[in-house]
Amino acid sequence: MTEGHGYNKFFPVSWEELHRHCKALAWRLLERGPYQGVVAITRGGLVPAAIVARELNVRVIETISCSTYNELERGTKVNILKQADAALPSQGEGWLIVDDLVDTGVTAKAVRQLLPKAHFATIYAKPNGRPMVDTYITEVSQDTWILFPWDQEAVMSKPIVELKKGG
């Protein structure tokens, strides 16, 4: 999945850790609010947006659906599959955009063009995309693949002695 894409490290995130980071983000955002609503960038921003919205007592949640991953050229083009509801202010003023991470900044740039006055927040930020967001919690290196809890399964691990034998 990540071979040939420049990822040398993996950063697995548990459900508990993600929840803790989302609450930390909500604490940072509290002083910048109140917000009229939250816009989640799907799919990765759905869970963080729900947690942040709960912590900030925001009841209105919208989505923008984007796709930037394909087999040949990851992150070079953003396809907006669904825009936020037309009831949003045209510039997004007073609204909060939430995503799980900003990687290259390609998606964030496309969403910022749609809602330039909204406050943009992510849980994780990589150096290339970090300038595109207003608030984030944790910075990770550009060569790190973040393994979110929804992308993981619990499996039996091999004992160390078997790993050392190569079996």
Residue 114 tokens read as 């749609």
Residue 115 contacts residue 99 (beta carbons within 8 Å): no
Q: How far is CA 118 from the centre of its chain?
A: 16
| Residue with the two structure tokens 């045209």 | 90
Task: Please give the positions annotated as active site.
Answer: 99-100, 103
Q: Which residues contact 163 (CB under 8 A, 6 or more apart)?
A: none
Which residue's structure tokens are 């993981």? Answer: 152
Read off the tokens for 101: 């991470």
Running DSSP on this structure, what letter comes out for residue 118? S
- For residues 156 and 47, the answer to whether their CB atoms sit within 8 Å is no
